Each structure stands twice: as C-alpha cells, then as structure tokens.
Amino acid sequence: MEYVQERVTTLHDLTDPTPAAPTDRAAVVVPMTEREYGGLAPDRVLSELEALDPGHVVVPLRATADRVDDFYDWLDGFDLSLSVLWCNGPRLESLLDEHGLDGAVGKGRDVWLGLGQALDREYVVVHDADTKSYSRADVSRLLFPLAHGYDFAKGYYARVENDRLYGRLFRLFFVPLVRALSEGRDDAAVLRYLEAFRYALAGEFAATTDLAATFRPQRSWGLEVGTLGDAFDHTGFDGSAQVDLGTYEHDHRAVSGPTGLSDMSEHVGAALFRVVTEGGIDPDYETLPDRYRSAAKSLVRSYELDARFNGLAYDRADELDQIETYAEAIDPPGTDRRLPAWADAPLSPGDVADAAAEDVEAVR
C-alpha cells in the first residue's frame, strides 16, 4: 500500500472506497463486438451497472447483421436506461462516407460514435466489457475527481493473473519508449504528462462531456494514448487525475497475429508519435529503436526481480523476444486518420442515432 502522488493527482485505493459521485448525471459508454454476446465478463459488467443505475448506458456495437437482433434482446434483459448504437450498419456507414468519415473501423471509431450519444449528459465514463473483476465502484471512483473540479480521470490497476505479470504492451513497449523519447529532454511537458500515468493504456476513463467533445479518437488501437494527448492539450496537469481501480482481470492477446500485441504496438506507437509531435517533440527515428531496446531491457531485470519477490512465474527470454518484436513498430506515424472532435464534426450525434436506428429496424 502506498500513497505517493504523481505529476497528476493520484487517488489511491487505501480503504476500498466507493465514494459518492454524480453517477445519475453520467453516461457510461461500453463498446462491444459480437464476441461479447452473452459472455460471463460482459454479463458481470452489465449486472454491476444495473445495480449502480447510472444516468444512461450507451453500447456502441460492432457486429454482423445476423447478430444484432440477438444482441438487442440480450441487452434489453438488463434493467438499465440503455441504448445500443449499431456502429457498422449500412445506413450509418453511408452517412459517414457522405461526410468524408469512411475508413478503418475499430474500437476507437466505436467509442467516438458512443461519445456522441453521451454528450447530452454532464459526464461520461468509458470502459471495456471484458473485465472479469469489474465492480460498480469503478464508475464512482472515476467520476469522483470530476465532481471536485477535475475534467479528466484515468483508471489504473495491476494486471496479475495465472501467477504472471501481464500488461505487456504497456510495460514492455509504451513505458520504455516514452523513457527513450524523454532522454535529454527536461522541458518536454507532454512526455512528463504521459509518464505520470501509471497505466497509460488502460481503457477506463471519465471526462466532462465538454472535454469529451474535443477528443479526436484514433480509429482503432491507440485510442487510449490519443485520449491522453487530447486531455493534455485541453486540461493539462491541473485538470487531470488518475484513480486506483485495484487489480483487473482482462482478456489476453497473443503477441503475433492480425489482432495480437505486435499489431497493436504499431497503432499505439503511431498514436504516441502523433501526440509527442503535437507537443513539440521531433523524434529521431533513426536512433530511437536502439534507445528503446536499451530502456526496455533495463526494465526486464526489474520485472524479473519483482516477479520473483511475489512468487510469480517470469519468462525472461519471452519478454526479450517481445521487445524485439515491438521495436519493429517504431516508425513515423504516417497519414493522420483520426476522427474529428464532436465539437467540430460535419454531422451531429442525432444524425448518427437516426441512421443507426433505421439500420436496426431493417434487421429486426
């Protein structure tokens, strides 16, 4: 147990608190894909939200047409003020195309669409649906700093399961890459901001809807880093907090494959480089991979000792192999395909809701 403060205000789980928070004035956005249908973790998340009874729940759903009806029936079984937004229906896809917003689909686009439907509330909370250890207290904890003058709150937690350390993309890629970027830069405020968050890749955050309307999400992975970049631009250190959510159990991904951690690292790296470039940093991409490797390998020794201290298994060779895989993701970010802030979008959340409703009506 510790209570050390970071450069952003850090709220610790010292007494297992469920603080009073304005849950009735908040929308909770829970993106789902068809793999979540009827699963134990999503069922737990929705049951906990049912007991909490927030102001509204928005489920941005990415699924094939033949699964939409089943999803609606399943979600309708929960006693919640809940709306479902089918993110990839043909009318909605056509509407986005008409406004120049076609392109890659992924979690970031789903969350962007969901945020639009939450802007009529005072606050919004975003979290995943695959958390096996989810608690309704998470929403209250994330909202608590917003009720006390902050604009943005990020969750953090430990990833320890099956007697192993997880959170691999964060601790083996993001952390050492930010450290490598920080070398010799004492005045790089954006890097100090990113370093202050104990789990920068956590998907759990809360924001005032005024702030959320300024977010320009990445379309797929990289959403979490991009969100931090937007929060830094609009509210900075003084308006940001992070909140201890305990120990989380999430689904795990393989390192290789089209949806594995290696693929994710490319998106996360691109998002990070956009954030730091906008923050006035010009990365030296020629030397950065080696500097990243050096920073990452120095952390392996620390992780190994920490694992042994706690009686956990640790595969040093596998972690070193992952570092080499992630080093290949260090490249300039390429074309910026972020979605626009809702404050500047060429269409309205109402337009999106109407198109999605027509899509659902056509398949139910």
Q: pLDDT tens-digit profile of 52-111?
A: 999 999 999 999 999 999 999 999 999 999 999 999 999 999 999 999 998 888 999 999
Per-residue pLDDT tens over the stretch 308-363? 999 999 999 999 999 999 999 999 998 999 999 999 999 999 999 999 999 999 88
Sorted by sequence, the CB contacts under 8 Å of residue 248 that are 6+ apart come out as 131, 133, 157, 158, 159
Report residue 178 as tokens.
Answer: 């930010």
Report residue 145 as tokens.
Answer: 């700093």
SS (H, E, C) 110-128: HHHHHHHHHCCCCEEEECC
Query: What value does the mean pLDDT of the chain take?
Result: 93
Cβ(45)–Cβ(277) below 8 Å: no
Q: pTM here?
A: 0.94
Q: Which helix (H) or strand (E) holds 153?
A: strand 152-158
Q: Alpha-carbon distance 34 to 52, whole Å?
A: 25
**Rounded percentage of the chain residues whose pLDDT exceeds 70:** 97
Sorted by sequence, the CB contacts under 8 Å of residue 314 that are 6+ apart come out as 164, 165, 303, 304, 307, 308
Q: Alpha-carbon distance 224 to 275, whole Å?
A: 11
Per-residue pLDDT tens over the stretch 7-36? 999 999 999 999 999 999 999 999 999 888
Residue-range domain boundaries for the chain:
9-334+341-363
Per-residue pLDDT tens over the stretch 214-258? 999 999 889 999 999 999 999 999 999 999 998 877 665 556 555
Helices (H), the chain: 40-52, 65-76, 90-98, 107-118, 137-143, 168-169, 175-182, 189-196, 209-212, 223-234, 261-278, 288-309, 316-327, 349-363
Compute the residue count for the chain: 364
What is the CATH number assigned to the segment(s) 9-334+341-363? 3.90.550.10
Per-residue pLDDT tens over the stretch 111-151? 999 999 999 999 999 999 988 889 999 999 999 999 999 99
Cβ(29)–Cβ(115) below 8 Å: yes
Report residue 339 as tokens.
Answer: 């979605």
pLDDT: which is higher, 259 or 337: 337
Quick one: pLDDT at residue 253? 53
**Position of tokens 């992070």?**
242
